Structure 1
């Protein structure tokens, strides 16, 4: 470790010592002798050298904006006391746009194993305690139920690389857990967080139109050549996703029963009538049918009848397809 690294580590340790003294209601005043005995980076020095180093470090911290004041030490008038002026050292309110919050959450997974990624994501807890606002509705972007948890580093790198270098991609896509997987082709323009869901938006070469795909339904993403329809310079991707999702779709109100602790994708946004009965208003019809079928039997549609019958039909088709694929005559 270099001398510069040692100095930085010592300054960080000293700053945390001041913060700890202020926040924990214990020793509110620090002295040079206490610092030498208790703060890493000073204990290996002689008393005189440690005192001089402490004096220099105090000057560095003050220059960096850490408000430390000198006060009389009532416990030992022979030693000078030092205290952090906590009222002058608060963190300003922190806020992130949905796009910024998504990038920060994904960065926790880039190049990290599962345990390290979880450690990186835990930083959100500290930011939230300091007053951070994620601006992502009621579901934090780091929730394991959120779509970002399903986007692996390699997939993210391929999508962003294709957007940046104007490359076309091919990927496997399924509209829902019980639907057939198909191969789709797209010139991607970006990733958009919409209603706590993450979508890949761009030009759909198969449909010859702008489309968006929910990232949890996408897999096996790979480049397949140059893009022929790059992103228009004045495009608002957020608006494109909203319009793409609403095009040609019916929206309904649905009342359903869900076992406690299940189907968070449905219950998080629903009005709760009781412990297990919920109402979703203005929800996209086909999307609800697919998700309700995927969570059966924990989810039971109560009304309207056409949605309940559509869920039953979806489950029946899935069971028949499974039987055919596995050679079951029943």
Structure 2
């Protein structure tokens, strides 16, 4: 892009913002003299050159969809923005669309998927855009989105969009052996910081959902998809599956004094520094204990302790 083109873009952008700002500040009309004095890109021009350039720029803005109105007054030509014709209508989203936007927003915060957000910003920055990083988040929560690989997401989204039957390996728990699953995919659901693939399980002949982080080796099946339309809203399918599949356990956790408050609040504290938890969700216990490690160590049951260890080892590899 040439320097002359850059200057023209900046001048037109400044002029458009000047019209928007004037309306917001209650100034209905802008005079050519005001524009020449206050809008960068015009002040260094001679009278005739300024008048000619302003006329061309007004025409360019109109062609771009900015409704600038010219009004003849005793003092000369006045310009204003027809705001009613320029403002966009209110935007509303369906629950599914809102979920997609929420998913996209989370993706840009951390993890491998943040590369997509950064690459998009790089393209904008190359055209001259700037941004203020003073409000950048200093804390990013760890969710499925921050751990989800871009290649896995691409595979899921591609097969879902094109309604292709897929085959993949699924790990029910971090330490379990992979299970081969065949599915006609319907879409992704973000629920409680977890991402689930929802679709028709061909072998079970019923809707099923699988946590995406536990899916490996997605590939297209040779057979065509036969159940391409959801039998119910996808989030309802996930919620129902989680209710039916919830596993409750009793556990003993050793907690460092003053730490792991979430675990302490959920159980009964003993004098030996352990906390007894009864009828708690197994997956919640595994994730929470891993999150507070090493200040929280599962004493029993042993299989839960093993899952916590496996989760921590997996995190160390990333």
For the criterion TM > 0.5, the same-fold answer is yes
Contact 1:201 1:241 in 2 (8 A): yes
SS at match of 1:199: strand
Instruction: Report the Cα distance in structure 2 between the residues aligned to 1:211 and 1:57, rounded to whole angstroms.
Output: 58
* Cα 1:20/1:322, change in 2 over 3 Å: closer
Contact 1:185 1:206 in 2 (8 A): yes
Give unpaired runs (5+ residues) of structure 1.
Answer: 127-142, 272-282, 302-307, 324-330
Contact 2:14 2:40 in 1 (8 A): yes
Choose from 289, 296, 313 the match for 1:293. Answer: 289
* Cα 1:298/1:48, change in 2 over 3 Å: farther
SS at match of 2:93: coil
Instruction: Report the Cα distance in structure 1 between the residues aligned to 2:116 and 2:177, rounded to whole angstroms.
Output: 28
Q: Which residue of 2 aligns with 1:194?
A: 191
* Cα 1:118/1:148, change in 2 over 3 Å: farther
Q: How does 1:119-198 map to 2 (within 5 A)?
A: 145-176=142-173, 178-180=174-176, 182-187=178-183, 188-198=185-195
Instruction: Report the Cα distance in structure 2 between the residues aligned to 1:195 and 1:241, rounded to whole angstroms.
Output: 11
* Cα 1:114/1:45, change in 2 over 3 Å: same
Contact 1:212 1:245 in 2 (8 A): no
Please give the per-residue CA displacement for 1:52-103, whole angstroms capped at 9, x wherever unaligned. 442454466579465779799xxxx978776668899766554434432454
Contact 1:204 1:211 in 2 (8 A): yes
Contact 1:292 1:299 in 2 (8 A): no
SS at match of 2:222: strand
* Cα 1:299/1:182, change in 2 over 3 Å: farther
Q: CA deviation at 1:191?
A: 1.3
Q: Which residue of 2 aligns with 1:116?
A: 119
Instruction: Report the Cα distance in structure 2 between the residues aligned to 1:158 and 1:208, rounded to whole angstroms.
Output: 23
Please give the per-residue CA displacement for 1:265-293, whole angstroms capped at 9, x wherever unaligned. x89xx99xxxxxxxxxxx98232122123
Contact 1:174 1:218 in 2 (8 A): yes
Q: CA deviation at 1:201?
A: 0.7
Instruction: Report the Cα distance in structure 1 between the residues aligned to 2:256 and 2:55, rounded to whole angstroms.
Output: 63
* Cα 1:114/1:11, change in 2 over 3 Å: closer
Instruction: Report the Cα distance in structure 1 between the residues aligned to 2:256 and 2:227, rounded to whole angstroms.
Output: 43
Q: CA deviation at 1:34?
A: 5.2
Q: Which residue of 2 aligns with 1:242?
A: 239
Contact 2:290 2:308 in 1 (8 A): no
Instruction: Report the Cα distance in structure 2 between the residues aligned to 1:172 and 1:37, rounded to whole angstroms.
Output: 67
Please give the per-residue CA displacement for 1:8-40, whole angstroms capped at 9, x wherever unaligned. 7654331123345677x7x99854345446646
Instruction: Report the Cα distance in structure 1 between the residues aligned to 2:180 and 2:88, rounded to whole angstroms.
Output: 47
Provide the TM-score with structure 1 as the length reference. 0.56
Instruction: Report the Cα distance in structure 2 between the residues aligned to 1:80 and 1:262, rounded to whole angstroms.
Output: 70
SS at match of 2:198: strand
Give unpaired runs (5+ residues) of structure 2.
Answer: 124-130, 133-139, 267-278, 314-318
SS at match of 2:227: coil
Aligned length, in residue pairs: 274
Q: CA deviation at 1:208?
A: 4.8
* Cα 1:228/1:15, change in 2 over 3 Å: closer
